[in-house]
A = this chain, B = another copy of it.
Amino acid sequence: MATIDIEISEVGPRDGLQSIAPVMPTAAKKAWISALAAAGIPEIEVGSFVPANVLPQLADTAELVAHARAIEGLAVAVLVPNLRGAENALAVGPHKMTIPLSVSETHSLKNLRRTHEQVLQEVRAIRAAIDALPAGQRPRLEGSLSTAFGCTLEGVVPRDKVLQMAEKLIAAGCDEVGLSDTTGFANPVQVRDYTRRIWGLLGRDRLNGIHLHNTRGQGLANVMAALEVGLTTIDSSMGGIGGCPFAPGASGNIVTEDLVFLLESQGLRTGVNFERLFAARRILAEALPQVELYGFTPQAGLPRDFVAATPQ
């Protein structure tokens, strides 16, 4: 496997597909996930263990985990909203499970129908379920700090609340936390500041990644701040599909294709091959012809004489 400077965590199969009405056929999802992995994407969030009546688009998550687990070198991530979801996930063995906690409690109630304390209780139970597994079979557990940079319902989310929730998630048994700009409110000053403060509070190994949205076109500018401060994992979605269905007006993940270009153009290795990445995009476009795909780089193509940091 190629040396990687920045790890891209592709969330399209989960965060992307959950936000759109059409259901992508399982065979197409498998082809897409395989194509993303073949392009060099090191981690893919393949789905979410939520009840099929809530998100029918993701009902095949268990099958996708099994498919993705068979791909050499790929880290397979899933979202789990609670213990039941985690138990279903653990049965198929992902490498990483992410449980979201909305720092805005109003958003938490609306999104997960749970108070902070109820979410933390689920985390503790999930931790126990993980620890009951033999060593070597235990997935990493990440607590995602949703609405960390502001909330469409509550407005300002106090920074102290973010730090407090980060601390509580770790205390409850998460291996790490992630910052998530669920609503597209984040600015570069916040990204740097919150990262440094969480590191100061919990240690640098407790926060590696950030999930940014492009709701106000600020996604890659905020990535620049994330790189400057030293974060090493960036979530993104192929074609920019998805966002948060429970945060009105807050659509738009950052676009994997443009993110890869941003990183590779400044000498940061992602391990990704552009030609194969664009091939994976074509699979997505063909499977979901009615869904608008974002991204400038696939349209413009690579610059003449472009040399990527990752050997192509």
Contacts and interface: CB of A to CB of B under 8 A. Distances in A.
Interface of A: 150-156, 183-185, 187-189, 214-218, 220-221, 223-225, 228, 249-250, 252, 255, 258, 261-262, 265-267, 295-297, 300-301, 303-306
A296 B215 contact: yes
A223 B216 CA distance: 15
Copies of this chain, whole number: 2
Most chain B CB inside 10 Å of its own CB: which residue of A189, A221, A261: A221
Most chain B CB inside 10 Å of its own CB: which residue of A150, A153, A295, A305: A305
Nearest to A299: B249
A258 B184 CA distance: 12
Contact of A258 (B154, B185, B216, B300): B216
5 contacts: A150-B305, A187-B265, A221-B223, A221-B262, A252-B296
Main secondary structure of the interface of A (DSSP, over half): loop
B266 A188 contact: yes
Contacts of A255: 217
A265 B265 CA distance: 26
A87 B260 CA distance: 46
Contacts of A305: 150, 155-156
A228 to B, nearest CB: 7
The 3 closest A-B pairs by CB, nearest first: A155-B305, A187-B265, A217-B258
Contact of A218 (B151, B258, B304, B306): B258
